[in-house]
Amino acid sequence: MIAFDGGRHTPACFPESRVSWSRQLSLNKPNGESMNSSIGSHTSLSNVVKRSGVLISGLVIAVSASTSAYADPPPGPREYIWSTTDKLLFATSMADFLDAKTRVTDGTYLDWTDNGCSVPGGHGDRPGGFYFGNACVRHDFGYRNYRRQARFSGENRRRIDDNFKNDMYAVCARHRLAIGSACRKWAQSYYAAVRRWG
């Protein structure tokens, strides 16, 4: 970074007491003799910049790194991210899960994207008139984050699928008798589809 002051070009990283851009510079010849050279401001700046290239490059890199870190902070500890994922997926009510999704900001290190109920051969978010959209959203959250966290094993996939079924059954629990039974049949159909195709 160059600071301009009264016609002088002064790099902000060099104190004025150490650099005088138009003064006589005493340079040493290889044989140890001293030679004085009057160096103008532009030439002196060029020489100093060349000789301090590493320092200036380091400053640019440091500034760039700090700016990048501010814009896109590094992920938090793995254990914290994993436990947060598991809590939202398995130990949080659907209402609180959806509330957390609406309050998402950049830098949460979790994938909140979803594509609703895209079960092959399914009927969208509302099969038979029963709304499974939120269950599908949380199911997507589980799949995407477990894959992102490199822990999408067969066992964990089943846990996520079973949780999906439980979320759908929670919807069905609001209905009684034949309507509830019909709802559970749709839930079983959707569960079977994700078990087969994912």
**What does the alpha-carbon distance between residue 69 and residue 186 come to, in Å, rounded to a whole number?**
47
Which of 9, 123, 139, 175 is catalytic? The answer is 139
Q: Could you give the CA distance from residue 116 to residue 141 in angstroms, rounded to a whole number?
A: 10
Are the CB atoms for 89 and 101 separated by under 8 Å? Answer: no
Two tokens, residue 77: 């500890």
> Which is it for the CA torsion 154, 160, 166, 168, positive or negative?
negative
Tokens of 113: 């994207």
Q: Are 37 and 18 in contact (CB under 8 A)?
A: no
Sequence-ordered list of residues with C-beta below 8 angstroms from that of 135, at least 6 positions apart, any chain: 94, 117, 164, 167, 168, 170, 171
139 in active site: yes
Helix, strand, coil share (%) of the chain residues, nearest 5: 55, 10, 35
Active site residues: 139
